Amino acid sequence: AATKRKHEGLAARPKKRAKRAPSAPEPDAKPAPEEYSIPPPVSQGKWKNKERVLIFSSRGINFRTRHLMQDLRTLMPHSKADTKMDRKDQLFVINEVCEMKNCNKCIFFEAKKKQDLYMWLSNTPQGPSAKFLVQNVHTLAELKMTGNCLRGSRPLLSFDPIFDKEPHYALLKELFIQIFSTPQYHPKSQPFVDHVFTFTVTDERIWFRNYQIIEEDASLVEIGPRFVLNLIKIFQGSFGGPTLYENPHYRSPNMHRRLIRLSVAAKFREKQQVKEVQKIKKKGSKELIKEDPTEVVFETPAEEKPVEIQLVKPESKPIVKDKKKPRKIQRKKQKKLFRTET
């Protein structure tokens, strides 16, 4: 029975068709419509300069620092993020974090006393690294920043001429170029240049600004963020090592606050001393001056006139009668009569 079912099944199956050779297209046949092809990317070059920047912070930062850090990440397509670092950890641990994240540059924000903000720029793991005090922070979300730019576009870097004159500024210039410039043909970048990063040196500080380039008249509109970097030290290694340069004009925030407190205390002490002196003056006996030497200043002697004796009687003046007087008398009489009649 089983063999019969097998033979019946084989007989019921249709035979396979033989493959035919592809026939040539007929001459009168119409060509097929062209399929839509995806255009190749604009930047067809190879990404060689593989700079990656790790941007993160320590615990204890405020909301303004958090927004500043987020703004830098959006402006730099070659950046990476990481979780906040604990305060108890040493700074050289950041080199291992950069190695795990496959980053060779680092921007680290360090918060102290919940009011002071420090920024580390480092070339990991060999160095050098620089430590700055960050002041006057303004973010992208503020209303004054009216400019705009394409996300992931390449920025122009504009430096003050002082960066080429002094050696420590020249080192910082190279560090800024390697960190803030977007590598060519980066996968997340766009091949457009529509904004400028400016680094200017005034008042012994580095002022960072970000401007939009308007194509119509080549004018600049500020995008943000903006902040001021006060250089503290430049180290040979990454997050430590021998000191290459120390800023002599730098004053720590603790010293600045201490001087303000001392100046306020000195003003208060001065006011108290003035009050004490006034009390002593009031309690002291007053010395009366017998004669005031300034009394005679405003006395002017009058001119002496000769004495004249009148011997002749003065002439009497002629009496002039008032013509209007009788009329007045008549009017008064008329008024009296009128009153009596009424």
Predicted confidence (pLDDT) at residue 29 exceeds the cutoff of 50: no
Of the given ranges (39-53, 149-163, 213-227), which has the lowest mean pLDDT? 39-53
Paired tokens of 134: 């960050």
Q: Give the pLDDT of residue 87.
A: 86
| pLDDT tens column, 253-289 | 999 999 999 999 999 999 999 999 998 888 876 777 7
* DSSP-derived secondary structure for 153-212: EEEEEEE-GGGGTSHHHHHHHHHHHHHHSPPTT-TT-EEEEEEEEEEEEETTEEEEEEEE
| pLDDT tens column, 166-181 | 999 999 999 999 999 9
Gap between the Cα atoms of 180 and 158, Å rounded? 11
Q: Give the pLDDT of residue 49.
A: 84
Gap between the Cα atoms of 6 and 18, Å rounded? 24
**95 contacts 83 by C-beta, under 8 angstroms:** no
Closest CA to 194 of 140, 149, 146: 149
Angstrom CA distances, 268 to 35, 64, 261, stand at 86, 35, 11
Domain regions of the chain by residue span: 53-256
Q: Give the pLDDT of residue 228.
A: 97
Cβ-in-10-Å burial (0-12, 13-18, 19+) of 259 comes to exposed
What is the residue-averaged pLDDT of the chain? 85
Q: How far is CA 309 from the centre of its chain?
A: 96
Please give the average per-residue pLDDT across 240-248, as a whole number: 94
Predicted confidence (pLDDT) at residue 134 exceeds the cutoff of 90: yes
**Residue 37 phi, psi (nearest 5):** -110, 145
Predicted confidence (pLDDT) at residue 302 exceeds the cutoff of 90: no
| pLDDT tens column, 201-219 | 999 999 999 999 998 788 8
3-state secondary structure of 134: strand
Give the pTM: 0.68
Strand partners, 121: 107, 130
Closest CA to 168 of 283, 50, 250: 250
Fold of 53-256: Rossmann fold (3.40.50)
Q: Give the pLDDT of residue 321.
A: 64
Question: Of all residues in the chain, what percent carry a pLDDT higher than 90?
Answer: 56
pLDDT band for 95, please (50, 70, 90 cuts): very high
Strands 190-202, 226-237: parallel, antiparallel or unpaired by DSSP? unpaired
3-state secondary structure of 242: strand
Of the given ranges (52-66, 251-265, 327-341), which has the lowest mean pLDDT? 327-341
Please give the average per-residue pLDDT across 30-55, as a whole number: 70
